[in-house]
Amino acid sequence: MTAAGGIFRPGMLAGRVALVTGGGTGIGLGIASCLAEAGATVAIASRKLEHLEPAAAELRAAGARVSTVQTNVREPEAAARMVEQVAGEHGRLDILVNNAAGNFYAPSATLSPNAWRAVVETDLYGSFYCAQAVYPLMKAQGGGRIVMISMTLHYRGWPLMAHATAAKAGVDALTRTLALEWAADRITVNAVAPGPIPTEGVRKAFTPPDGGAPDIFMDEYAARAIPLRRWGTPADVGQMVAFLAGPAGEWITGAIVVVDGGSWLACGRP
Ligand code: NAP
């Protein structure tokens, strides 16, 4: 997989095995689909079979080689078993995408310790546990690619999302630190920071606790507040992950790539 081989040629990731956490829904499914289209064998992992099985069927129908793993990334032992299972089934593991996350609107003053833990442990601890679990395997294989899925809300702060913004700020720090620690093992560690993408998950997360608020995912809002004038799609993120996982990403590590149509920079300005 060298830069000289060109980027985005058909079968660019042929022979590679990718693991996408949270790969059964939303952005994770879009990432799994882009990696599979680029030729990778893909394992999708999350807690609920009702998310994984229909997603795997959809990917297979499009010609992908896919397996599923039921796991909870909040538990380090479960993350280790997930990696063992994928390596056992497919013989190797080249690409890890830490996409699994939880989120919901909640005022900080009354955020319960359990709610705080649920989000921080999924987004931040989970990303660390999964990265740590793949490290020995990638090192033994002579290299690998890790991509974290971050966000941009912590760049300026975002009321009612203290847990998620704190966790993703930690994910950014982890990205840079692991990039430096593991570069000598030819393991790259980068992050993609998506802007607003109206997945089912984010629609639920952005419903304020008092309910009854209008759906913010209206096209008029996108036309007004997103400089590139549309909502993002899971494929927008998936293509960037494929870029970082492919030959073009060979000499990129510690980068946090914002894929958001210019949203955070504009900060709601038309
Ligand atoms: P989503 O569909 O709700 O995705 C979250 C995924 O994580 C689900 O598939 C869920 O599956 C899995 N998950 C949650 N807790 C888990 C756990 N403990 N162990 C294993 N898997 C777990 O939401 P999304 O919008 O696609 O978000 C995907 C990623 O993009 C997240 O990292 C999110 O922070 C980031 N992001 C999204 C947006 C956006 O606008 N959509 C913007 C910025 C960043 P199970 O329920 O089956 O476990």
Q: Is residue 24 assigned to a domain?
A: yes
Ligand 1 contacts CB of residue 72 (under 6 A): yes
Average pLDDT over all residues of the chain: 94
CA distance 16 to 138: 12
Ligand 1 contacts CB of residue 241 (under 6 A): no
CA distance 182 to 168: 20
Q: What is the average per-residue pLDDT within 193-220?
A: 78
**For residue 246, how far is its CA from the centre of ligand 1 (angstroms)?**
23
In the prediction, which pLDDT does 2 show? 47
* Tens-place pLDDT, residues 10-31: 899 999 999 999 999 999 999 9
Q: Is residue 5 assigned to a domain?
A: no
CA atoms in the 13 A half-sphere facing the CB of 101? 25
Q: Is residue 28 assigned to a domain?
A: yes
In the prediction, which pLDDT does 136 show? 98
Q: pLDDT at residue 121 above 70? A: yes
* Tens-place pLDDT, residues 210-236: 666 556 677 788 888 899 999 999 999
In the prediction, which pLDDT does 211 show? 63
Q: Is residue 265 assigned to a domain?
A: no
Ligand 1 contacts CB of residue 120 (under 6 A): no
* Tens-place pLDDT, residues 179-189: 999 999 999 99
In the prediction, which pLDDT does 159 show? 94
Rg (CA), the chain: 18
Q: Is residue 3 assigned to a domain?
A: no
Ligand 1 contacts CB of residue 237 (under 6 A): no
Compare 205 and 146 and report the one with higher pLDDT.
Answer: 146
pTM: 0.96
Which atom of ligand 1 lies nearest, measured to the CA of 50? Answer: 47
Number of domains in the chain: 1
Q: pLDDT at residue 1 above 70? A: no
Q: Is residue 210 assigned to a domain?
A: yes
Quote helix, strand, coil % in the chain, to nearest 5: 50, 15, 35
Range of the domain at 65: 13-260
Q: Is residue 203 assigned to a domain?
A: yes
Q: Is residue 269 assigned to a domain?
A: no
Rounded to 5 degrees, φ, ψ at 252 are -120, 120
Count of other CB atoms within 10 angstroms of residue 168: 28
* Tens-place pLDDT, residues 77-111: 999 999 999 999 999 999 999 999 999 999 999 99
Ligand 1 contacts CB of residue 21 (under 6 A): yes
With contact defined as beta carbons under 8 Å apart, do 177 and 242 qualify?
no
Q: In the chain, what percentage of residues exceed pLDDT 70?
A: 94
For residue 98 the two structure tokens come to 């830490």
CA 268 to chain centre: 24
**For residue 82, how far is its CA from the centre of ligand 1 (angstroms)?**
17
Interior/surface letters 142-165, b for 16+ CB within 10 angstroms, e for the rest: eebbbbbbbbbbbbeeeebbbbbb
Rounded to 5 degrees, φ, ψ at 148 are -90, 145
With contact defined as beta carbons under 8 Å apart, do 130 and 21 qualify?
yes
With contact defined as beta carbons under 8 Å apart, do 140 and 92 qualify?
no
**For residue 61, how far is its CA from the centre of ligand 1 (angstroms)?**
23
Nearest CA to ligand 1 atom 48: 47
Q: What is the average per-residue pLDDT within 152-163?
A: 96
Q: Out of 51, 158, 202, 233, give the residue to mutate to test ligand 1, the one with the largest number of ligand atoms within 8 Å of its CB.
A: 202
CA distance 97 to 209: 30
Rounded to 5 degrees, φ, ψ at 258 are -85, 125
Ligand 1 contacts CB of residue 71 (under 6 A): yes
Query: CATH number of the domain that 43 lies in?
Result: 3.40.50.720
Residue carrying the six token digits 């996408």: 20
In the prediction, which pLDDT does 214 show? 54
